[in-house]
Amino acid sequence: MPITAEMSALVAPVGEGDHALGPADARVTLVEYGDFECPSCGATYPVLREVRRAFGPNLRFVFRHFPLRDSHPHAEAAAEASEAAAAQGKFWEMHDRLFEHQAALDGRALARHARKAGLDVERFERELGAGAHAGRVARDVESGRTSGVRGTPSLFINGVRYSGPRDRASLVAALAAAAIASAGVA
């Protein structure tokens, strides 16, 4: 499917069902479509932590799944594992652990991450085995596709696709520009 101009905008707005850090009324919202096994996402992870730190409560950060199943065999399971953690209220703990241990995402490693994150491992493994959260991951993937996401990480700032450099300074500048622009509009 060719990428059109409309597809460079975030089609699915951020809602209650999203995993978000930061207040809903933050000045700027950053949405990441990511894959826990993707090396580029792993490299962007610490940058985004710094970016979040730079903005504090002025930034809302949203993570959506976009596992690249063809090239990353553990990405789908890792995404579902993070959803299983979310079911126990620990999505972000699992999100951080998965990005910090990208080389260890097989079944046993996921269970170990769950234990370290303080999850009920039995429930976690049961839900993971039953594919209880596959639908949730698939919804994220579908929303990404409709917004033109083809690879990871894909970033959207205030609903607009960001295709600039993914270093801290560039991202902070882009987010700040978006915040200033939105304040001017308001």
The residue type found at 42 is G
Identified binder of other proteins from the candidate list 48, 105, 149, 179, rule CB under 8 A: 179
- Per the omega criterion (within 30 degrees of 0), is the bond before 67 cis? no
Residues in the interface with other proteins (CB under 8 A) total: 21
Binding other proteins by CB under 8 A: which of 49, 139, 145, 168? 168
Which of 58, 86, 138, 139 is in the footprint of other proteins by CB under 8 A?
58
Footprint of other proteins on residues 18-57 (CB under 8 A)?
A: 27-28, 53-57
Q: Restricting to residues 59-98, name those near other proteins by CB under 8 A.
A: 59
Q: How far apart are the first and last CA of the chain?
A: 35
Q: Computed from CA positions of residues 5, 154, 147, 17, in that sequence, does the dihedral angle turn out positive or negative?
A: negative
Q: Which two tokens stand for residue 99?
A: 């990005």
**Positions that interact with other proteins (CB under 8 A):** 27-28, 53-59, 168-169, 172-173, 175-177, 179-181, 183-184
